Amino acid sequence: MSQFLPEAIQSFLPNVIQLIYLVATGFFIVGIRRLGSPATARSGNQLASIGMLIGVAVTLFDQEIISFEFIVAGVVIGAAIGVFAAKKVQMTAMPEMVAVFNGFGGGASALVAWGELARLNPTMFDTQSLITTGLSILIGSITFTGSFIAFGKLKGFIGGGRIALPGQNIINLVLTAVALFLVGWFTIDPANQVIFWSLFGLALLIGVLTVLPIGGADMPVVISLLNSYSGIAASMAGFVLGNNLLIISGALVGAAGLILTNIMCKAMNRTLTNVLFGAFGGGEEGPSAIGDSDKTVQQTFADDVAIQCAYAKKVVIAPGYGLAVAQAQHVLKEVANLLENKGVEIKYAIHPVAGRMPGHMNVLLAEADVPYDQLYDMEEINPEFASTDVVLIIGANDVVNPAAKTSPGSPIYGMPILDVDDADRTIIFKRSLSPGYAGIDNALFYSDKNQMFFGDAKKSLQELATAIKELD
């Protein structure tokens, strides 16, 4: 669009564009900063989107851009799909959505590097551009296919368990080494089509093979990691184009993804290596000592739960993904309201891996109008269980399993959990005694402080709400 500007301005244009990119960078940094507190988060996201708009708008004035047909068509199609997806998606499906968006972001970065290579004569590229083109294609392609496999796993199209060839880990390591070698070769001989396509194809394959063996329970880690990759891929594309805005924004996202990956690993007491190459997480390898006949559980019903809660001083609710699957968040909120009207103090205990991605449970409860100041992180709520009368555990299992503290042989041993057994009474809402997502039996079921309220979470909560109303 630069041709519409007066010639006097045109000579300054490249510098002006760079300076406006700097402004956009500022918007991103302040935006992410404001995402750090619930009160300012929405404005933070809006600032970041304004930064993006500024960056895109000013790029259209780049003197290199001479035709707009493809740009207009691409933006219109992409925006239409984006708006449709963002409006339609259920909050429970947020991990899938983020995975898909991630995949598109990573794919776009790989395409940008490829496009730049196709546009110019590869022999004109200097070494730095060639290395980063190779890396951009490698990381972007891994992100692309990896994200779509993660999507398929979350959706249940692909088995949640471990799908692996024998020696899968060694195969993956060898393939990654070969891919890096191909990046090197490509740098030396960029015009060689065989090398280029081998690199591209291998990168796509690595994305599939590394995510495929990872169990469903580890998906929060994988999504965080892929998020980081998509940022790094954008950064690499920035190196190729010599564009600071891309380098900086990509680095910010890469850092964000790495931090979240680290938090998720800690929450599950796993190392990243263990998630990527370990066997646990699929379920079928859990111990089979489930439902031993000599262990007994106490069963309870809505009327009794209603009385125990209504006369309690403090009730803590520990929700898990099962709550969201049963679509029971709104009924839960109703129960909480009824109890609050009776003067009961209500808090929600949120384990970091309560949902299918970091912070997922908080979003699901926010959707049901639970105020965020009632949501407590694990570290905040754990000291409070000792002074809690009743804990309602709904659709959660592994995150309250005392085996994580007591049995060194358990696959979840060492994982930080909600210390619900410190409370006077725990009540587990569950369909049956079946084990959780990780496939491990739960000793809490058989504790004499615990009662089981069997049934579908939503139906049970509806019964509970009715029972509390009848107490008046």
Partner 1 sequence: MEDLIFNLFIFVLASFIGFELISKVPPTLHTPLMSGANAISGITLIGALIISGATGGAFSHWIGFAAIVFATINVVGGFMVTDRMLEMFKKKEDDQ
Catalytic residues, by residue number, are: 398
Q: How far is the CB of 277 from partner 1 (least distance, A)?
A: 24
CA–CA separation, 111 and 237 (whole Å):
9
Pick from 179, 241, 335, 381: which binds partner 1 (CB under 8 A)? Answer: 241
Does the footprint of partner 1 cover residue 13 (CB under 8 A)?
no
Contact 205, 151 (CB under 8 A): no
Which residue, 367 or 456, has its beta carbon nearer to partner 1? 367
Of residues 424 through 453, those in contact with partner 1 by CB under 8 A are none
Of residues 333 through 362, those in contact with partner 1 by CB under 8 A are 350, 352, 355, 357-360, 362
Of residues 34 through 93, those in contact with partner 1 by CB under 8 A are 35-39, 41-42, 44-46, 48-49, 52, 55-56, 59-60, 62, 64-68, 70-71, 73-75, 77-79, 81-83, 85-87, 89, 91
Tell me the DSSP string of 266-289: HHTT--HHHHHH-STTSSTTS---
Which residue, 309 or 364, has its beta carbon nearer to partner 1? 364
> In Å, what is the CA distance from 173 to each residue of 129, 132, 214?
26, 21, 15
Burial 205-226 (b: 16+ CB within 10 A, else e): bbbebbbbbbbbbbbbbbbbbb
Contact 338, 66 (CB under 8 A): no
Long-range contacts from 167-173, C-beta under 8 angstroms, 24+ separation: 168/209, 168/213, 169/277, 171/209, 172/206, 172/209, 172/210, 172/277
CA–CA separation, 301 and 315 (whole Å):
17
CA–CA separation, 323 and 438 (whole Å):
17
Pick from 146, 216, 231, 395: which binds partner 1 (CB under 8 A)? Answer: 231
Rg, Å, the chain Cα set: 26
> In Å, what is the CA distance from 271 to each residue of 142, 165, 438?
21, 22, 17
At 142, list the tokens.
């891994």
Q: How far is the CB of 295 from partner 1 (least distance, A)?
A: 34
Of residues 274 through 333, those in contact with partner 1 by CB under 8 A are none
Of residues 133 through 152, those in contact with partner 1 by CB under 8 A are none
Which residue, 200 or 453, has its beta carbon nearer to partner 1? 200
Q: How far is the CB of 118 from partner 1 (least distance, A)?
A: 4
Which residue, 257 or 395, has its beta carbon nearer to partner 1? 257
Which residue, 347 or 430, has its beta carbon nearer to partner 1? 347
Pick from 135, 202, 206, 253: which binds partner 1 (CB under 8 A)? Answer: 253
Q: How far is the CB of 284 from partner 1 (least distance, A)?
A: 29
Which residue, 115 or 414, has its beta carbon nearer to partner 1? 115
CA–CA separation, 180 and 195 (whole Å):
12
Does the footprint of partner 1 cover residue 116 (CB under 8 A)?
yes
Does the footprint of partner 1 cover residue 265 (CB under 8 A)?
no
- Beta-carbon contacts of 205 under 8 Å, excluding residues fewer than 6 positions away, are 145, 175
Contact 363, 97 (CB under 8 A): no
Pick from 4, 119, 124, 432: which binds partner 1 (CB under 8 A)? Answer: 119
Beta bridge partners of 390: 315, 425
Which residue, 158 or 256, has its beta carbon nearer to partner 1? 256
Q: How far is the CB of 108 from partner 1 (least distance, A)?
A: 4
Q: How far is the CB of 53 from partner 1 (least distance, A)?
A: 9
CA–CA separation, 392 and 451 (whole Å):
10
Which residue, 96 or 463, has its beta carbon nearer to partner 1? 96
Pick from 102, 187, 426, 450: which binds partner 1 (CB under 8 A)? Answer: 102
Q: How far is the CB of 268 from partner 1 (least distance, A)?
A: 14
Q: How far is the CB of 103 from partner 1 (least distance, A)?
A: 9
CA–CA separation, 168 and 370 (whole Å):
44
| Region of 228-236, 381-389, 407-415, 454-462 interacting with partner 1 (CB under 8 A) | 228-236
Of residues 367 through 426, those in contact with partner 1 by CB under 8 A are 367, 369, 371-375, 377
Which residue is listed with tokens 């909560």? Answer: 461
Phi, psi at 389, each rounded to 5°: -80, -50
Contact 43, 57 (CB under 8 A): no
Count of positions (residues) in the chain = 472
Does the footprint of partner 1 cover residue 251 (CB under 8 A)?
yes
| Region of 186-194, 286-294, 364-372, 426-434 interacting with partner 1 (CB under 8 A) | 364-372
Q: How many residues bind partner 1 (CB under 8 A)?
A: 118
User: Helix, strand, or coil here: 457?
Assistant: helix
